[in-house]
Amino acid sequence: MKVPSLRRLGFALAAPAMAVAVALVVSSIVLVISGSNPLAAYSDMINNASKLETSIDILNRATPLYISGVAAAIGFRMNLFNIGVEGQYLLAAFFASVAGGAVNLPPIIHVSMVLLVAMAVGAAWSGLAGVLKVTRGVNEVISTIMLNFIATGGIIAGLIVVWQDNTGQVNSGTTPIPKSGRMPDLNSWVEIFTREIGKGRRLTGVLLIAIVVGVAYHLFIDRSRLGYEFRASGYNPFAARAGGIAPKNMVLWAMFLSGAIAGLVGMVEVLSDSYRYDQSFVRGLGFQGIAVALLGRNTPLGIIVAALLFGFLDASAGTLQVSGSASREIVVIMQATILLAAVVAYEVVNRLRQKDEAKTASALLAGSAS
């Protein structure tokens, strides 16, 4: 069994390695054309990432990306494209901020309440697309995109004026969540490993939630019966149906669960950064999550690697600008080429792997028959 599992590992690593290599080549070409030195830019990025404060930065950025990636992956595992993570997390963050800012509760209960509101709102908003698909046959891609606009341009834009904390600030937003409803940072944990001071950076406590989400996602998708039904529906919906897996139930479950996790994406900001929903609330994490899930092949571990990679690239954007070795947009180009190359590379490697497996199977059979 040693050799086949090594082969499998080789196949698993081949695609991301190819993708990163292609991205490096493409980015280098772009850098050269725009008059920058690629080697200088890359060494700036790597030098910078080895600094403690950048590491914390990367983790803080990777945390919401990971949660968002898992939310998208839940749908992808059964060929449902929840493009609505964006609207779901923004709407969830908005209502969770309003709810969290409106009450005063004991610490743990207060945080839990905010989390629950966020998950419930996310699940409801995503579930709406699920219900539309099951009852009226509306394609979830279309409904979730439209629900994104309704969430941000309609509900949030309409209600934030009503619920904003009118303290005369330029950047108006909801009432900040009081101390009891905030997640403590993990800087004390960082100090266990290093005495270096993080230069004002705070490692977000939501990282713990992301870890719980990751473990739960693994147990759910790889170990539970419902997870098996998810994967079976994703592999072959017709066979799944003939096997007694009701397709409509699966769609509803997938959209609810995906939405519930999506609801947690904004919690880094709500529980450990700005403590409220304001005009400059971070956007785009939902769409980045789709990229992260694709790059991570929808697996719990793969999404971690993808989220860290994207977090690293995001964190590098600022560095490049400061050092002047390249423009910050190169990071977006890199993310895009990695993703594009990854999708192609996965398909190529997948075909090679299937051929290899079939060949090994028949070779082993021939060996055992003679």
CA atoms of 212 and 274, how far apart (whole Å): 23
Q: Which stretch binds another protein (CB under 8 A): 9-17, 78-86, 88-96, 231-239?
A: 231-239
* Residue 79 engages another protein in binding (rule: CB under 8 A): no
Q: Measured on CA atoms in the order 122, 123, 124, 127, is the torsion positive or negative? A: positive
Q: Check: CB of residue 178 under 8 Å from CB of residue 112.
A: no
**Which one among 62, 67, 85, 240 touches another protein, defined by CB under 8 A?**
240
Q: Which stretch binds another protein (CB under 8 A): 42-50, 137-145, 237-245, 323-331?
A: 237-245
Look up residue 175 and give its two tokens.
Answer: 């009432």
What is the residue whose two structure tokens read 């509900």? 155
Least separation in angstroms between residue 367's CB and another protein is 8
Closer residue to another protein in complex, CB, 79/104: 79
* Residue 242 engages another protein in binding (rule: CB under 8 A): yes
Q: Which stretch binds another protein (CB under 8 A): 176-184, 198-206, 229-237, 277-285?
A: 229-237
Closer residue to another protein in complex, CB, 202/241: 241
User: CB atoms < 10 A from the CB of 166, how many?
Assistant: 7
Least separation in angstroms between residue 243's CB and another protein is 4
Least separation in angstroms between residue 369's CB and another protein is 8
Residues in region 179-198 near another protein by CB under 8 A: none
CA atoms of 336 and 267, how far apart (whole Å): 26
CA atoms of 14 and 20, how far apart (whole Å): 10
What binding mask, one character per residue, do residues 243-282 give for another protein by CB under 8 A, x or -? Answer: xxxx------------------------------------
Closer residue to another protein in complex, CB, 169/236: 236
Q: What is the Cα 312 distance to its own chain's centre?
A: 14
- Which pairs with CB-CB distance under 8 Å and at least 24 residues apart come from 327-336? 327/34, 327/36, 330/27, 330/30, 330/31, 330/34, 330/36, 330/41, 333/26, 333/27, 333/30, 334/23, 334/27, 335/291, 335/310
CA distances (Å), origin 240, targets 14, 129, 217, 290: 31, 22, 21, 25
**Which one among 33, 136, 225, 370 touches another protein, defined by CB under 8 A?**
225
Q: Which stretch binds another protein (CB under 8 A): 142-150, 156-164, 192-200, 235-243?
A: 235-243
* Residue 348 engages another protein in binding (rule: CB under 8 A): no
Candidates 53, 94, 21; CA nearest to 263 is: 94
Chain residues binding another protein by CB under 8 A are 223-229, 231-232, 235-236, 238-246, 354-355, 357-362, 364-365, 368
